[in-house]
Amino acid sequence: MMPREPLLSAISIVDLESANPAMALQPHRYQHLLDWLSRSAFSDMDVPQLQNELIGHLENLGMRFYRMHIGLPMLHPLYSIGTYTWGPDQGVVLDNFQRGLAGKASWKESPLRPFYEDGSVEGRITIRAGSESDRFSILKSAAENGATDYFVQFTNFPDRSIPVDAQEGIALTWTSNAPGGFAEEALEVLRAIRLPLCAQLKNLTHRRLVDDILAAYLGPYSGKRVRDGQIQRGDGDVIDAVILFCDLRGSSTLAEHYDLDGFLTVLNDYYEITAGAVIEEGGEILRYIGDASLAIFPFERYEPEQKACQYALRAALQAAARGREVNADRRARGEPAIDFGIGLHVGQVMYGNIGTPKRIEFTVIGQAANEAARIEAQCKELGETILVSDRFAELLNHPWKSHGAFTLRNIGRPIEIYSPVS
C-alpha cells in the first residue's frame, strides 16, 4: 500500500466491510431502480443514455445533482480511461485521458486521488467555499456554482500500488447541490446501486470494446453488420457503391531504400495520406492488400447517390494534395517520393463474408471491384494520380478529361477512362 497522505478534516472515508450493521441497506426500497438496472443490460442503450436515465430515476427519488462523473477503462493505443460527465445544463460530455495518467497534473490535483491511494471503497468531501475543499480546483469551482457535497465510489481496484489507469476498475463521483449535501438516505441509494451499476457499465464497456475493435479492423459500416449478425460465410447483400482502389507505385524501389522498419513507416505514411482521406470523407476501407487498399462508398448511405461519388472524388483529390505536400518534404530530405494511383468506379458488388467456415473476411467481390483495380492500373501508364470510369463520370458533374476507351485485362467491355480537371 502506498504511504498514507494526511486527509482533509472535511473528508470522510467509509470501509464498507466494517460498516455499522445498523446502516444495513433495505434493497426492497430501491427495488424498482435495481430492476431497471437489470433490464437495461438487455437493451441497446449506451453509457450516456444509461447515465441520463439513471439521473432521472434518482432525481425522482428527491436527489439533487450538480455533476455526475463516470471513469471507465479503455483498450486504446492512446487512451486508458474514458470519462462521461453529466451536468444539468450540458447533458453527458465524453472525454478520454491519455496513458500515463498517474504522472499528470490532472490526476495529482484530483479529489479522487487521496481516496484511491488510501485504499478506500468510497469517500466524501463537504464542499464549502473558503474551506479545505478549495484544495481541489474542481471542487473550488463547484462551490462557486452552488455545489455542496462530493461522494466518490471505487469498484474493482484490487491493488492500489498500481496506477489507476493500469487497472480495470470503475470510478463514480456524485456531486450534490442540495442544501446540506447528500442525506444519509441518498447515500444509501448510491451504495445500493454501486455494484449493479458498475456491472452494467462493465457490460457496456465490453460492448464498446467490441464495437471499437470491429470498427478498427473492419470499418464502422462493416463492423456494424458483423455485430448485427452477419457472421457466417455467404452472409451478405448485393449493393450499389463507388469502389475505390488505391495502389502504391514503386514499392520495390522503396523497399530497397529502407530496412524493414523504415519501409513499414513509409507504408503507414502512405496509408495515412490515402486511406486516411477516405475515412475522413465517410468511406469504408475494406482491405489492405500489401501496399494496396480497397474501399467503398455505399449508395445506401447517401441521398442522392451522386453524393457518394462526390465524397469519393473529394477523398481522392485530398489524398493527391496531401501526397504532393509530403513528397515535397521527402525530396527536400533526399528521400524517394511516395507515389500512388487511385481508381474510382461505380457498380454492383456482393458485400459480405467470404473465406473458409472458420476464417472469413468481410469484403466486396464482383466484376465492378475488378474493374476498379484495372482502372487504377492505368494511372501509371497515363501518368495520372486519379482515374475514373465512364459510369462514375456520368454521375458526377465535374470537369473531366477523357483518355479514351480501353479494353482492360480480363474485362469484357471497353471502358472510357477520365481524369479530373482541377
pLDDT along the chain (422 residues), means of 10: 38 38 48 88 88 94 94 78 91 85 82 92 94 94 96 93 86 96 94 94 79 68 65 72 94 88 92 94 89 92 90 97 94 92 94 73 80 93 95 94 86 88 84
The whole-number pLDDT of residue 233 equals 62
**Which amino acid is residue 232, in one-letter code?**
Q
Same domain, yes or no, for 242 and 360?
A: yes
Same domain, yes or no, for 124 and 233?
A: no
Same domain, yes or no, for 99 and 177?
A: yes
Q: What is the C-alpha separation between 274 and 284, in angstroms, rounded?
A: 12
147 domain-assigned = yes
The number of C-alpha atoms within 13 Å of 148 and in the hemisphere containing its C-beta is: 11
Q: Are 154 and 134 in contact (CB under 8 A)?
A: no
- For the record, the C-alpha cell of 285 comes out as 476501407
1 domain-assigned = no
The DSSP string of 374-422 is HHHHHHHHHT-SEEEEHHHHHHS---EEEEEEE--TT-SS-EEEEEE--
The whole-number pLDDT of residue 228 equals 63
Domain boundary, last residue among 195, 216, 237: 216
Q: Are 311 and 283 in contact (CB under 8 A)?
A: yes
Domain that holds residue 276: 228-420
5 domain-assigned = no
Same domain, yes or no, for 241 and 195?
A: no
Lateral strand order in the sheet of 11-14: 11-14, 122-126, 149-155, 170-176, 67-73, 79-87, 91-98
The whole-number pLDDT of residue 250 equals 87
The whole-number pLDDT of residue 225 equals 66
Q: Are 345 and 372 in contact (CB under 8 A)?
A: yes
Same domain, yes or no, for 139 and 163?
A: yes
Per the structure, the count of domains in the chain is 2
The whole-number pLDDT of residue 315 equals 97
The whole-number pLDDT of residue 3 equals 38
Q: Are 214 and 226 in contact (CB under 8 A)?
A: yes
The whole-number pLDDT of residue 73 equals 86
